[in-house]
Amino acid sequence: MGVPASWSDWPSSESAGWSSTRPTASPPGATTSAPSADIARSLALRDPFISVTGFNRSTLTLSVVRCRGERAKREQLRHLLRDPAQRALVYVGTVKAAEEVAADLGAVCYHGQQDAALRRRIQEDFTQGRSRVVVATSAFGMGVDIADIRRVIHYQLPGSVEAYYQEAGRAGRDGQPAECTLLYSPADRDLQAFFIEQSGLEDGSPLRDHAYARLGQMMAYAEMRECRHARIADYFGEEGVARRCGACDNCLAARPPEEPVPVDAIIAGLAAVARFSGRVGLANVAAVLGGRRTRWSAAQSWVEELPFHGTLKSWSDDRVRLLLAELLRAGLGRQSSGEYPVVELTQSGREALMRGAPPPLTLPAEASTASRRSTPQADAPVETVDRLRRWRLETARAASVPAYVVFHDSTLNAIAAARPASLADLLRVPGVGDSKLRKYGEEVLQVLRTPAAGG
């Protein structure tokens, strides 16, 4: 027995004329526990046995690459598609993105606004191997079964885990290893929120709330630090799946050591969330804790007078956000699922703040004190560090600012050790953020590409 396109299309058991013998249903691959329950109700099944299997595909390596901006995404995309022998499918969220990304890559574009004959020809070319890479919207895939797709890349965040895994699952259908990569930027949420807002669903309607909840679950998947295969299995209700898969970026990576978060930092985070409860999102709370001015805080002059303002100014913005995310993960706070998500404390969070005794939290350890010394790192070429320092001195003099305003010595050492070959690589170096990447990124890469004197 198959299933219809919409769960509401199921007939009742009486109108369908089915017998009382135990029926068996075969829902689609991306059916969650909620639709399974809907099917059981529609069929008037009494205490049905529901078995969920088939979601743990260990031959697929699941990974998420966090990208800051469009340029970083394009560089990552080119890097992932560097193997000319691999057949790859790149999913995007809009027709415009499909056309732009395909043009940039010199690849084939596929979307629902093309005429049927053109879409059939593109599918045939891809199936027969005449095209190696297709950049497509979700329109690609219905009725298409190509066994040897080695890589599926999501260039933009899908609206749900169901949509993501259904599309990612088009990789490796021949049973051979394949890669499924999500290029993730938190700003991608805006596109999916726009789709929900344009869907015509009324504010407060269960369907609208459910759509935002599914989007939140997709973002949680992108930002998680645990096993991705286990999360997928848990989401769809499959039991008995190992907690460490060996086939996702989180399990394959050397897990960084954790370090305890100082109690005063946790208290500051709780106090900030409590003060702005239900009115602002994580980004603005993080900015206040870090003492950074944003468009929102600039319009609220009283913000700078708050006792926790700037408490974590020695932390990077990413680390402050990581702390706030950890508060949510620990059940001390929660985030709404509307168009503009806001945060508030849970009862547990309020009690912890009132007692001044929050539960212990940990975060990935930052670079050790030794790695922050001004002397070059062991694997940082001394000559490269010297060239970077000379460039920094010239840049600082031209801007009439101290040298450390351009980059700290520790950052120059880290750049020399990392030997970044692209802006995306440079952005991963500790101490290099979006602003400095825009200001100095190309110049730094040019310094690194310049041959050593006499070399």
* Model confidence band, residue 252 (pLDDT cutoffs 50, 70, 90): confident
List, in order of start, the domains of the chain with CATH numbers: 60-252 (3.40.50.300), 261-360 (1.10.10.10), 382-449 (1.10.150.80)
pLDDT for residue 405: 67
Of residues 9 and 50, more confidence is placed in: 50
Question: Please, what is the average pLDDT of the chain?
Answer: 80
* Model confidence band, residue 142 (pLDDT cutoffs 50, 70, 90): low
pLDDT tens track for 78-111? 999 988 888 999 999 999 999 999 999 999 999 9
* Model confidence band, residue 30 (pLDDT cutoffs 50, 70, 90): very low
Is the pLDDT score of 121 beyond 80? Answer: yes
Average pLDDT of span 104-121: 92
Q: Is this structure's pTM higher than 0.85?
A: no
Is the pLDDT score of 223 beyond 60? Answer: yes
Tell me whether residue 89 is exposed, middle or buried, using C-beta atoms within 10 angstroms of its C-beta: 0 to 12, 13 to 18, 19 or more: buried
Q: Token pair of 28, please? A: 């689609």
pLDDT for residue 310: 86
pLDDT tens track for 331-350? 898 887 666 788 899 999 99
Is the pLDDT score of 270 beyond 90? Answer: yes
